[in-house]
Amino acid sequence: MSVDVRGERVDLPPLRRSGAARTGRWLLRPVAAYLVSRLVVLAAVAYGVWSRNDPSVLRALAEWDGSWYLSAAVQGYPSATPVLNGEAVNSNLAFFPLYPAAVRGVSTIAGISPLLASVVVAFLGGLTASVLLWLLVRRLCDQQVADRAVLLFCFFPGSVVFSMAYSESLMLTMAMACLLALLDRRWMTAGVAGALATASRPNALAVCACCLYQAALAVWKDRDWRALIAPVLAPAGFVGFMLFLWARTGDPLVWFRVQREGWNERFDWGRRTLEEVVIVARDPASASNTMTLQVLGLMFVLIALYFLWRWRPPAVIVIYTIGVLGLCLGSWTLGARPRFVLTAFPLIVAVARAARGRRFIPVLAASALGMWVLAVMYTAPGMAVP
């Protein structure tokens, strides 16, 4: 490019794209990867629905826990604890409020059914999480690792729930936003994102430990007392929900009671997880599909933890990963189901970081095949529990 200056032609250097423009262009990659992965899931779900002679793909995407989230979105939470023979029974009191609130809001604003809104919210949450993951990994590693990590994340078997009426996509979006803000020392943003995360799922409490660690480090090294905003705000989602249920039902421990008595949920320090490994190892034919999937998930966790150790990311990433894994693997009912392993997303990043070049292709192919199989199993009659 040249311009005329006092009658003379002067050559100017070519214009360069701004950093924001380049980032915007590269963000098309995680968006494209996510959209392609959703097409694969949709095809698999359609096949699963066809196998059971059910004409509604949409309804199949809102089964299992999705029906409980929908009841919270449409009917709200009960004003008293549902009981039978003196014990609490299954109810939506166990399901955190951020996702149902988002479903109700989208349904009202867009004028669509709560059923459709539940899938739309999950879909958009997965899209946002994919973009935030790319930004986070590019910050921690480089662009090539970010591309591989997003591909493996989008095609990870547990990512099926990004197309179902489940809250993992919102939880991951808020958790990633919190971790990014902590790394950039944006304490208010980290605290607010952490509060939204803990209002979405109980295993998001892991971000509270991240906020506390990063704030303590900032206070110790730099006397940055504003950092305490993050750990103060982060638990607000969980605490606020507990206070709401107390005011709603008159029982300050109603959530814990419903979890224990209604859903048979308790923290057993990994005993049930180990029992499932023994059952599958001794007699695989006697194990349910859900149990087998949990054991396979545990195998992935153990392998990925090795690559996480080799990676040695910032401490907050490790704290988050160990916190999420501890809450899932130490649970009597949850274990290493694919969707819970997905929430420990740094494990996926660690594997993507290690699988360079041609080694990444079979890893991605195996993951995508697993995603297809899970999408069919979750929507075919009674094959596995998400």
Residue 178 lies in a domain: yes
Q: How far apart are CA 365 and CA 171, in angstroms?
A: 26
Residue-level pLDDT at 22? 65
Q: How far apart are CA 293 and CA 288, in angstroms?
A: 9
pLDDT at 13 over 50: no
Number of separate domains in the chain: 1
92-129 pLDDT per residue, tens: 999 999 999 999 999 999 999 999 999 999 999 999 99
Q: Please answer whether residues 92 and 73 qualify as being in contact, where contact means their C-beta atoms are separated by less than 8 angstroms.
A: no
314-327 pLDDT per residue, tens: 999 999 999 999 99
Q: Please answer whether residues 166 and 66 qualify as being in contact, where contact means their C-beta atoms are separated by less than 8 angstroms.
A: yes
Residue 2 lies in a domain: no
Kindly provide the b/e burial profile for residues 199-224, where b requires at least 16 CB atoms within 10 angstroms of the residue's own CB.
bbbbbbbbbbbbbbbbbeebeeeeee
Residue 342 lies in a domain: yes
Q: Please answer whether residues 207 and 316 qualify as being in contact, where contact means their C-beta atoms are separated by less than 8 angstroms.
A: no
Name residues whose C-beta falls within 8 Å of residue 174's C-beta, 6 or more positions apart in sequence.
98, 193, 194, 196, 197, 200, 204, 207
Residue 3 lies in a domain: no
Structure tokens at 229: 């905003």
What's the chain's length in residues? 386
Share of the chain above pLDDT 70, in %: 93
187-198 pLDDT per residue, tens: 999 999 999 999
Residue-level pLDDT at 384? 86
Q: Which among 361, 100, 59 has a CA at the least distance from the CA of 244?
A: 100
Residue 267 lies in a domain: yes
134-175 pLDDT per residue, tens: 999 999 999 999 999 999 999 999 999 999 999 999 999 999
Share of the chain above pLDDT 90, in %: 78
Kindly provide the b/e burial profile for residues 75-105, where b requires at least 16 CB atoms within 10 angstroms of the residue's own CB.
eebbeebeeeeeebeebbbbbbbbbbbbbbe
CA-CA-CA-CA torsion for 378, 379, 381, 384, nearest 10 degrees? 0
Residue 10 lies in a domain: no
How far the first Cα of the chain sits from its last, in Å, is 58
Q: How far apart are CA 116 and CA 266, in angstroms?
A: 32
Q: Please answer whether residues 89 and 257 qualify as being in contact, where contact means their C-beta atoms are separated by less than 8 angstroms.
A: no
Q: Please answer whether residues 273 and 326 qualify as being in contact, where contact means their C-beta atoms are separated by less than 8 angstroms.
A: no
Read off the pLDDT of each residue in 302-306 and give the average, rounded to a whole number: 98
pLDDT at 5 over 70: no
Residue-level pLDDT at 7? 47
Read off the pLDDT of each residue in 84-89 and give the average, rounded to a whole number: 85
Residue-level pLDDT at 86? 82
38-78 pLDDT per residue, tens: 999 999 998 888 877 776 888 889 989 999 999 999 999 99
Q: Which among 183, 229, 209, 174 has a CA at the least distance from the CA of 320?
A: 209
**Angle CA 323–325–331, to nearest 5:** 105
Residue-level pLDDT at 381? 67
For residue 159, the enclosing domain spans: 26-379
Residue 195 lies in a domain: yes
* Mean pLDDT score across all residues of the chain: 92
Top-confidence residue, 267 or 180: 180
Q: Which among 195, 200, 177, 181 has a CA at the least distance from the CA of 231?
A: 195
pLDDT at 18 over 90: no
Top-confidence residue, 380 or 117: 117
Query: Per mean pLDDT, which range of 21-30, 37-46, 189-198, 330-339 is the poorest?
Result: 21-30
Structure tokens at 72: 């919270």
Q: Which among 174, 210, 233, 194 has a CA at the least distance from the CA of 319?
A: 210
Report residue 229's pLDDT band, with 50, 70 and 90 as the boundaries. very high
Residue 243 lies in a domain: yes
CA-CA-CA-CA torsion for 72, 73, 76, 82, nearest 10 degrees? -20
Query: Per mean pLDDT, which range of 20-29, 237-246, 255-264 is the poorest?
Result: 20-29
